[in-house]
Structures are given as structure tokens and as C-alpha cells.
């Protein structure tokens, strides 16, 4: 019988199946997701296992698949969604898949290489093309200057014109006659050009002509090369020696140099050929890209399917590594943990697997008894798995221990809501949770860690929101304002003249006035029907009342929660048949807690129920302290007759429980050991054995003495932890008060500082201000009050469960059941 109450009963089962049917059987078990394989070769290192080569092959295939997916994403090709359960391939298909993958990868890499090379070529051709176009004007200028300067004059060597020239060289350096100018043309990045020019100047002292223009960035250029700006330059110089130097400088600045023909005709020809070359290249590039897209699209249809196949195969090989293969290589032995109630399902899955593989022998299941602790398995559904996860985060339950999850489903959202308590915020939280629940599948695709956490906890958030609406109605708090649904029990009018002491002048004299409930008519005698009276929202001593109320409520809730925890330990004792512990641990703990803290709750509830005058009412805290100190002086006011006697009795009972907890159990263990020792001793005397039994016997005695000390220490620690823990844990529950106070105050401050500013403007502009301020109010509410305070209250409620509640009964020393399940494998890796 499976329920959330306790973890499931597990059994260790030995499986025998044939090697041929191994793949199919394990894949069927993987689809079922109900068995955990035990490692039968724990001493073997990872690289020594039998199927390590196959696992490596699968990993290689996964790498290729990842590379393919990256390429597809780069080219914006949509990856088709996977179909339902595919069959797991056998060993033959593995080889086929492997070869397909390798071929694909090689092809893709080659295409990419070619594409890059072609692109580089295109860039070069484009550079040459723009170079040719732009240097046209330079050459024209140069030629015109050449024709003008036929008679060389001394200072008209305007070849040295350059925009930065400051001094003119003598015409000594210029040759006479026709000037033989050679030139160097190239392309350089624009940002490097000023430095380039400076270096040239320093080297050649202006003995050159440099012309440059920015290369026009056409759209195509930008697409191919990126947004890098380049300049075309051309240097006219004399002499080859100088040319070499300039060439070296250009290399240093990584400018690409291109040879440029001298005559106009040749240049035109070159320009044309470059154009045609570029056209060809462009076409080739386009074709390459189309081909690449085609290859990728064809692969994209299968890539998801391949991916899941490879993952399943890897999981199967990994599982096979855990099993034992016997001598004849024909039989595989595996040990699995599986829930007792699912044994028939496992059997039928194995039979199906062996039928699929066509083997004649059905696998054999053999349940074996074992002393090892089985893993803890709690069967959860979508709703309960969130709550189980937060319990398991602290510690997985010991095998067959009682599971705190079903109670956590109610108490956790409730304690959260006590700290959060606001209708309006609860409503927003509930609506958000409903939206997440309805959009859970499409939100999972975002694959963000944060959204995954929110989606995992969507039902928790829903319950937290609903409970917060409830506690908000009790605190009568909605965005820090109260609702007056049932009519307040307090009335101000009777305080005035006819019945009460106030006059009109009283209102002018005093700023604060106090309503006196003993004046007839002020307090109707019946408290507000549900929750806190709305009059408190506009009272200035609201906090004095609410603090006292919330503190007492926190203590009541805390003590009840802890008593519930202690009661759950009883269930554990009954199940594990530790009846002695019931009387030695459970009963004294219960009596201790009830007599002290149960009595405290009684005092609180009693004081709430009776009518007292507030000036003479005794403080519960002082009553409690005096009770513990046995301090009863005559002027102390007591709540009821006979209180002194009752209190003395309760304290004495509680104090008596401490030695019971501390000493009785170790003493009983000691007595049983003594009895068995006398038994063994008597048997020994009767048998008349030699000294060796006596020596082994004294050894045994020494072991016992050591563990007796351990037992005493353990029991002492446990007792002190419980008794002192009672007080500290009860005080710890006061955080319920503290956080709800913080939330209420934050909420009120937000209203007063943001929204009220807009409401108080009574002119026409008020509505516009209200629009803006409301937006700010909404944003701040969501970020500060919902997210920040919500996380804070979540954390504190969780801590209260993990520490204060669970240390009364929970051991939490088990290990989790991790079945081989293809669904969870594919989900986690997607």
C-alpha cells in the first residue's frame, strides 16, 4: 500500500537475464522508472569496467550532436521537436549511427573551412576594387602634375604637397627631368592610419606623397567584413630602396598591399577582371551557404531523436557496467532495489523486453533477504512532489520512518501565511501561481534556473497565496487597510455628553483620546464576527494591541506544532516496536512539555476569556517567571483561585521528568547487560571451559563498559537538547509575530508614502499623479512586499519546520531512491 504517510517498503531482487536480451530488458526497465540498480562492482575503477569503450563512443556521439546543434543555432535553423517514445537501438544500430555522425561532422567542418577561405578571397577582391576606384583621382592628379612640371623647376616640385607639410625640401633632392615616380598602394585600418603617417614622415622626411581616403562602406562590405573602417592609401615615392623600406613599414602596420598597374588602360582591365571575379565568388559563396543550410536542415529533423537515443544508450551501458557478467559470458546478473508493490510490473517489463529481443529464456527474478538499509522511496504526484522536495532538502527520511510531507502540505503554507498575512498580497500571489500552473509547460522551455525553481514550487506558491488570503482576512489587512464587513463592535458616539465624559471642548484640548469600554454603548459586548475589528486600523495604539495578540498567538501555534511533532514520534516508536521507548522517552517528554508549555497556553487562553480591568491584570510573562522561581508574594495578583497549588504541582512534575529521561533508559540497558552476562557466566561454569573463554569474555566485558559510557553521554545530550530546546524553540516561534509585524508595517509605509500622496491632492491634477503613483506603488509592492518579504517568510517557515518541528521526531538519515528512468534523464538534460 503506497501512501505519503510512510516511505515504501523496498526489496532487493536479483535479476538473471541473457546477454542478448540485456539491451531490451534494461530499456524496458528504464521506461518504467521503478528500479534502482545496485553497483555490484564497487571496487572497480571507471576505466576498468567492461563497457567503458561503448560509453566513450556514446560520449563522442554526444559531442558531435552538440556541435551540430551549435551550428544549427548559428544558422537559425529550427530544430524539430521530438516524437514520442522511440525504440532503443541495439548494438548494430549503434555502429550505423556512429558512422552517420562522423560523416556529418566531417562534411560540416569542410564546408565551414571552404566558406571561410572564400570569404577571405572576397574581402581581398573588394579591397582591390575600391582601391582601384579611389586611386583613379590620385593618378589623374599625379599625371596632370607630371605634364605641367616638364621643365623641372627648383621649388615647384609640388609633388611634395601633402596636407601636413611644414617645410619644403630643397629641390636638391628632386631629380631633374621627368620624374620617375613609383607608387605603393594598399589598404589599412583607419585607426592605424595617423600613426602610419607619422612613421613615414619620420623615416622619409616628407620625401613622398601620401594620399588616402576612407573606403566607402557599402552594405555588402559591412556584411562580409564587419564594421571595421578601412582607408585606401597610395604613396608616391622615388627609388626602389625607399620602396623596400615602405613595404616593411606597411607590413608592420599590417596594411595589405596590392599591386596596381601603371597605365589607365591596364587599370581598367584589372578593374573589370576584379568585378567578374567578385561576381563569381559571390555566387559560389551563396551556393556554399545553401548547401550548408540543406545539410543542416536535413540533420535537424533527426537531431532530437538521435540525442535521446544516444542518451538512453549511454544510460544502458552505464547500467550494464554496474552488473556482473558470469563466466560463460551469456548471463548477466543484476541486483536492484524495487518497491514491493511494483514487483509484478517489473516482471512484466522484463518479459516484454526479452520477447522483443527474441530470446527464448525469460529473465528470472529472485527476491533476497538482506541486512542492508534499502533506499527511501516516497511515491509523489505533481502536487506533492514540491513539498516532498523541501523535506528532502534537509534530510531524506530513514527507511520506513514516518514522512512529514503530508502535514507539511498544510502547516508550511499556514505558517508562511501567518507571517505574510495580507489579503491583497495573497490574492496577487494566488493569481500569479494560477498563471504559472496553467503555463507550466511553455515556461519550462525558457530553461532558466530561476524559472525552473518557480515552476517546481508552483503548487506551494498557490497554497501559500490561498492561506495568505485567509490570514489576511483574520488580520483584517488588505494593502494595509481593513474591511468593515460585519460592522465594528466599537462606537464613538456614546463617549460624548449624554452617556460619557467627553464634551466638544475635549476635542479641542486633546490630540489623543481613549475610548473607554466600560462606558455603556462604546463596546457592544460582542467581538467582531471574524478577525480583528476594523476600528484598530485607525487607532493610534494599534500596535500595543496587535503585538500582544500576535505574540501570544505565535506561542500557541508554536507549542501546538511541537506537541504534534512529539506525537508523531509515538507513531515511529509503535512502528519500529520500540515499546520501551514509549514509556521512557515519549511519555516523559510529553508530560514535561504539557506541564510547562501546555500550562502557558492555558494561561493565555484563560486570560483572554475572562474579564479583567487592564490596570490590575497580571502579566503572563511575570506569572510564568514567578512560577519557575517559586516566587509567591502576597501582593502578586493571580488569575484564579488555587493557582499557587496547581503551579507548584506542575513545576515539580516537570522537574521530576528530567531524571526519568536522563537515567532510566541507560540503567535498564545496564541491567539487561548484567543479566545476559550472568547467564553466559553460568553457562560457562557449567561447561567448564578453559581460560580462553574467560579471556575472550573479559574482552567482551570491556567493550560493554565503553559503550555504557557512550550510552549515558548520548542520553544526557538528548535530554538536555530536549529540555532546553523546549524553551528556545518556543521562543523561536516568536518569529511568526516579528515577520508579520514587519510585513504590516512595510505595507503601511508603502501606502502612506506612495499612494496617499496622490490621494491627498484634491485638485484635477490628482488623477494624473494618482496614475503615476499607483504604478510606482504596484512595482514596489511586487518587488519589496511580495518577492522580498515572500522569500523571507518562506525561509523562516522552512526553518521552523526543519529545526523546531522535525527535531522532535525525524531522523532523516536515509538515502534517496534514484531509479533508472529515461523520462527524468531526458527532462533534466533538455
Partner 1 sequence: MASLLFCGPKLAACGLVLSIWGVIMLAMLGIFFTTHSAVLIEDVPFTEKDMEDGPTALQNIYKLYNQVGYNCFIAAAIYVGIGFLSFCQVRLNKRKEYLVH
**Which parts of this chain interact with partner 1 (CB under 8 A)?**
428, 479, 481-484, 504, 534, 537-538, 752, 755-756, 759-762, 766-768, 770-771, 774-775, 778
Output the nine-digit C-alpha cell for 157: 616640385
Query: What CA–CA distance (Å, rounded) separates 694 from 686?
Result: 13
Please tell me the total number of residues recorded for the chain in this structure.
830
Rounded to the nearest whole angstrom, what is the least distance from the CB of residue 448 to partner 1 in the complex?
14
CB nearer to partner 1: pick between 435 and 640: 435
CB nearer to partner 1: pick between 256 and 537: 537
Query: What CA–CA distance (Å, rounded) separates 388 from 167?
Result: 88
CB nearer to partner 1: pick between 120 and 438: 438
Q: Cβ atoms within 10 A of the Cβ of 178, count?
A: 10
CB nearer to partner 1: pick between 603 and 773: 773
CB nearer to partner 1: pick between 605 and 775: 775
CB nearer to partner 1: pick between 62 and 748: 748
Output the nine-digit C-alpha cell for 182: 613609383
DSSP 816: B
Query: What CA–CA distance (Å, rounded) separates 821 from 34?
Result: 7
CB nearer to partner 1: pick between 742 and 761: 761
Rounded to the nearest whole angstrom, what is the least distance from the CB of residue 88 to partner 1 in the complex?
34
Report yes or no: 303 and 61 within 8 Å, Cβ to Cβ.
no
Query: What CA–CA distance (Å, rounded) separates 345 from 34?
Result: 9
103 burial level (CB within 10 Å; 0-12, 13-18, 19+): exposed
Rounded to the nearest whole angstrom, what is the least distance from the CB of residue 115 to partner 1 in the complex?
25
- Please provide the DSSP assignment of 165-211 as one string: --SPPPTTSSPSSS---EEEEEEEEGGGHHHHHHHHHHHHTT-SEEE
Query: What CA–CA distance (Å, rounded) separates 13 from 330?
Result: 20
Output the nine-digit C-alpha cell for 485: 464587513
> Who's near 746: CB < 8 A, 6+ residues apart?
784, 785, 789
Neighbour-count burial for 189-228, b at 16+ CB within 10 Å, e otherwise: eeeebeebbeebbeebebbbbbbbeebeeeeebeeebeee
For residue 268, how far is the Cα from the chain centroid?
66
Rounded to the nearest whole angstrom, what is the least distance from the CB of residue 300 to partner 1 in the complex?
15
Report yes or no: 336 and 13 within 8 Å, Cβ to Cβ.
yes
Rounded to the nearest whole angstrom, what is the least distance from the CB of residue 481 to partner 1 in the complex?
6
Rounded to the nearest whole angstrom, what is the least distance from the CB of residue 768 to partner 1 in the complex?
7
CB nearer to partner 1: pick between 521 and 766: 766
3-state secondary structure of 337: strand
Rounded to the nearest whole angstrom, what is the least distance from the CB of residue 468 to partner 1 in the complex?
17
Rounded to the nearest whole angstrom, what is the least distance from the CB of residue 762 to partner 1 in the complex?
5
CB nearer to partner 1: pick between 696 and 756: 756
Q: Cβ atoms within 10 A of the Cβ of 765, count?
A: 10
Which of these, 195, 196, 233, 242, lies nearest to 211 by C-alpha position?
Answer: 233
Rounded to the nearest whole angstrom, what is the least distance from the CB of residue 11 to partner 1 in the complex?
52
CB nearer to partner 1: pick between 734 and 770: 770
3-state secondary structure of 256: strand
CB nearer to partner 1: pick between 67 and 483: 483
Helices (H), 215-263: 219-225, 240-252
CB nearer to partner 1: pick between 221 and 428: 428
What radius of gyration do the chain's Cα atoms show?
Answer: 44
3-state secondary structure of 13: strand
Rounded to the nearest whole angstrom, what is the least distance from the CB of residue 612 to partner 1 in the complex?
29
| φ, ψ dihedrals at 339, nearest 5° | -65, 140
Rounded to the nearest whole angstrom, what is the least distance from the CB of residue 223 to partner 1 in the complex?
19
Rounded to the nearest whole angstrom, what is the least distance from the CB of residue 450 to partner 1 in the complex?
15
Output the nine-digit C-alpha cell for 789: 518579504
Output the nine-digit C-alpha cell for 273: 577582371
CB nearer to partner 1: pick between 414 and 479: 479
> Who's near 635: CB < 8 A, 6+ residues apart?
none
Rounded to the nearest whole angstrom, what is the least distance from the CB of residue 495 to partner 1 in the complex?
15
Rounded to the nearest whole angstrom, what is the least distance from the CB of residue 501 to partner 1 in the complex?
19
Rounded to the nearest whole angstrom, what is the least distance from the CB of residue 737 to partner 1 in the complex?
23
Output the nine-digit C-alpha cell for 652: 515539580
Beta bridge partners of 186: 233, 257
> Who's near 582: CB < 8 A, 6+ residues apart?
570, 573, 574
DSSP 396: P
Beta bridge partners of 256: 187
CB nearer to partner 1: pick between 340 and 770: 770
CB nearer to partner 1: pick between 178 and 778: 778
Amino acid at each position: 500500500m503506497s501512501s505519503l504517510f510512510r516511505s515504501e517498503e523496498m526489496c532487493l531482487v536479483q535479476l538473471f537475464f541473457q546477454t542478448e536480451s540485456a539491451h531490451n530488458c534494461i530499456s524496458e526497465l528504464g521506461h518504467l522508472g521503478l528500479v534502482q540498480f545496485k553497483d555490484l562492482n564497487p571496487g572497480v575503477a571507471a576505466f576498468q569496467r567492461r563497457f567503458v569503450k561503448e560509453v566513450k563512443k556514446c560520449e563522442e556521439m554526444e559531442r558531435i550532436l552538440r556541435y551540430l546543434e551549435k551550428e544549427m543555432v548559428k544558422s537559425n535553423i529550427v530544430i524539430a521537436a521530438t516524437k514520442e517514445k522511440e525504440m532503443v537501438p541495439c548494438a548494430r544500430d549503434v555502429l550505423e549511427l556512429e558512422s552517420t555522425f562522423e560523416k556529418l561532422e566531417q562534411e560540416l567542418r569542410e564546408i565551414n573551412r571552404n566558406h571561410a577561405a572564400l570569404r577571405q578571397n572576397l574581402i581581398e577582391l573588394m579591397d582591390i576594387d575600391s582601391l582601384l576606384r579611389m586611386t583613379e583621382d590620385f593618378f589623374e592628379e599625379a599625371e596632370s602634375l607630371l605634364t605641367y612640371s616638364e621643365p623641372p623647376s627648383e621649388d615647384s616640385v609640388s609633388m611634395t604637397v601633402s596636407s601636413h607639410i611644414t617645410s619644403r625640401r630643397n629641390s636638391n633632392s628632386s631629380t631633374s627631368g621627368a620624374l620617375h615616380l613609383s607608387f605603393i598602394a594598399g589598404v589599412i585600418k583607419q585607426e592605424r592610419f595617423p600613426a602610419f603617417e607619422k612613421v613615414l614622415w619620420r623615416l622619409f622626411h616628407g620625401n613622398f606623397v601620401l594620399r588616402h581616403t576612407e573606403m566607402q562602406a557599402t552594405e555588402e562590405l559591412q556584411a562580409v567584413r564587419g564594421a571595421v573602417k578601412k582607408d585606401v592609401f597610395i604613396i608616391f615615392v622615388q627609388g626602389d630602396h625607399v620602396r623596400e623600406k615602405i613595404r616593411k613599414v606597411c607590413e608592420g602596420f599590417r596594411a595589405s598591399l596590392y599591386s596596381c598597374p601603371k597605365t589607365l588602360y591596364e587599370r581598367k582591365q584589372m578593374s573589370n577582371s576584379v568585378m567578374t571575379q567578385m561576381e563569381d565568388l559571390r555566387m559560389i559563396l551563396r551556393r556554399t551557404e545553401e548547401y550548408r543550410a540543406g545539410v543542416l536542415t536535413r540533420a535537424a529533423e533527426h537531431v532530437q531523436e538521435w540525442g535521446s537515443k544516444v542518451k538512453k544508450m549511454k544510460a544502458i551501458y552505464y547500467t550494464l557496467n554496474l552488473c556482473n557478467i558470469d563466466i560463460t559470458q551469456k548471463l548477466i546478473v543484476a541486483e536492484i532495489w524495487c518497491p514491493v508493490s511494483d514487483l509484478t510490473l517489473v516482471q512484466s517489463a522484463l518479459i516484454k523486453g526479452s520477447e522483443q529481443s527474441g530470446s527464448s529464456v525469460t529473465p528470472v527474478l529472485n527476491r533476497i533477504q538482506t541486512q542492508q538499509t534499502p533506499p527511501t522511496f516516497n511515491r509523489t504526484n505533481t502536487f506533492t512532489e514540491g513539498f516532498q522536495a523541501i523535506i528532502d532538502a534537509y534530510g531524506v527520511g530513514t527507511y520506513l520512518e514516518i514522512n512529514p510531507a503530508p502535514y507539511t502540505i498544510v502547516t508550511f503554507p499556514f505558517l508562511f501565511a501567518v507571517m505574510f498575512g495580507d489579503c491583497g498580497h495573497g490574492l496577487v500571489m494566488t493569481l500569479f501561481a494560477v498563471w504559472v500552473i496553467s503555463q507550466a509547460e511553455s515556461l519550462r522551455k525558457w530553461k532558466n534556473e530561476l524559472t525552473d525553481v518557480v515552476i517546481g514550487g508552483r503548487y506551494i506558491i498557490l497554497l501559500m497565496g490561498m492561506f495568505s488570503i485567509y490570514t489576511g482576512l483574520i488580520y483584517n489587512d488588505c494593502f494595509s487597510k481593513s474591511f468593515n464587513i460585519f460592522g465594528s463592535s466599537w462606537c464613538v458616539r456614546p463617549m460624548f455628553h449624554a452617556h460619557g465624559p467627553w464634551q466638544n471642548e475635549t476635542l479641542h484640548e486633546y490630540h489623543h483620546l481613549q475610548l473607554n469600554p466600560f462606558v455603556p454603548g462604546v463596546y457592544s459586548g460582542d467581538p467582531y464576527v471574524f478577525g480583528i475589528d476594523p476600528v484598530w486600523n485607525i487607532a493610534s495604539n494599534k500596535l500595543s494591541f496587535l503585538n500582544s495578540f500576535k505574540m501570544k498567538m505565535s506561542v500557541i501555534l508554536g507549542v501546538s506544532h511541537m506537541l504534534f511533532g512529539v506525537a508523531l514520534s509515538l507513531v515511529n516508536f509503535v512502528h519500529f516496536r520500540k515499546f520501551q521507548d514509549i514509556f521512557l522517552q515519549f511519555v516523559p517528554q510529553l508530560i514535561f512539555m504539557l506541564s510547562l508549555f501546555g500550562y502557558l497556553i492555558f494561561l493565555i487562553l484563560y486570560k483572554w476569556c475572562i474579564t479583567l480591568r487592564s490596570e490590575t491584570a497580571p502579566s503572563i510573562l511575570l506569572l510564568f517567571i514567578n512560577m519557575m522561581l517559586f516566587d509567591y508574594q502576597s501582593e502578586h495578583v493571580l488569575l484564579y483561585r488555587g493557582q499557587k497549588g496547581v503551579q507548584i504541582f506542575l513545576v515539580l512534575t516537570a522537574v521530576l521528568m528530567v531524571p526519568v529521561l536522563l537515567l532510566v533508559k541507560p540503567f535498564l540497558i545496564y541491567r539487561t547487560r548484567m543479566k545476559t552476562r550472568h547467564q553466559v557466566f553460568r553457562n560457562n561454569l557449567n561447561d567448564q571451559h578453559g581460560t580462553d573463554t574467560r579471556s575472550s569474555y573479559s574482552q567482551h566485558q570491556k567493550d560493554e563498559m565503553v559503550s555504557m559510557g557512550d550510552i549515558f553521554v548520548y542520553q544526557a545530550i538528548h535530554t538536555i537538547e530536549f529540555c532546553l530546546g523546549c524553551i528556545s524553540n518556543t521562543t523561536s516561534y516568536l518569529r511568526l509575530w516579528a515577520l508579520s509585524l514587519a510585513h504590516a508595517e512595510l505595507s503601511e509605509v508603502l501606502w502612506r508614502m506612495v499612494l496617499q500622496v496622490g490621494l491627498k491632492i484634491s485638485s484635477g491634477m490628482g488623477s494624473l499623479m494618482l496614475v503615476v503613483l499607483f504604478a510606482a506603488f504596484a512595482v514596489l509592492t511586487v518587488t519589496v512586499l511580495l518577492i522580498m518579504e515572500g522569500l523571507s517568510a518562506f525561509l523562516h517557515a522552512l526553518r521552523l519546520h526543519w529545526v523546531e518541528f522535525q527535531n522532535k521526531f525525524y531522523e532523516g538519515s536515509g538515502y534517496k531512491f534514484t531509479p533508472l528512468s529515461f523520462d527524468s534523464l531526458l527532462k533534466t538534460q533538455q
